[in-house]
Amino acid sequence: MKTIFDHIEYIKGKPHHIRKKIVFATAGCLTAVVALIWFAGTLSSGTFAIQGSNFAESTGAESSVVTGGASNTGIAGAGAALESDKNAPAHIEIIDSSPATSTKKKAEPTVIPF
């Protein structure tokens, strides 16, 4: 039985255009295997399921809303996404989080010597 090193030596003896075809075919097959494993995993977990469908119910997928996190900067509409009172109109409250005293330095032009 040939080892992988014997097979690589055999491939090295082939012309360049054949080696190139072998490499791209091997890379394509490995990519397809990884994609199939990923796709099967996401289908079985219900990640792509439409909520309220039979598929979502059969996989046990639950709806969830994630707000906040480690850094909640830049999430202006997170307050409107909360479902605490469904009858209340959606609104956004803007809170100024800059310091009361201005400690900003005046912008100085940057000089880049060449």
> Smallest Cα–Cα separation from 94: which of 78, 114, 111, 70?
78
Structure tokens at 37: 């494993």
Task: List pLDDT tens digits, range 71-112.
Answer: 545 555 555 555 556 676 766 777 777 666 556 666 777 777
Position 42 scores a pLDDT of 86
For tokens 């469908």, the residue is: 53
Q: By residue range, what is the domain housing residue 12?
A: 1-44
In the prediction, which pLDDT does 82 show?
55
pTM of the shown model: 0.41
Overall number of domains in the chain: 1
Per-residue model confidence as pLDDT tens digits over 26-66: 999 999 999 999 999 888 887 776 665 565 556 665 554 45
In-domain check, residue 29 = yes
Tokens 């201005």 found at: 102
Q: Is residue 113 part of a domain?
A: no
The pLDDT of residue 30 is 97
What is the helix (H) or strand (E) element at residue 7, kind and residue range?
Answer: helix 4-12
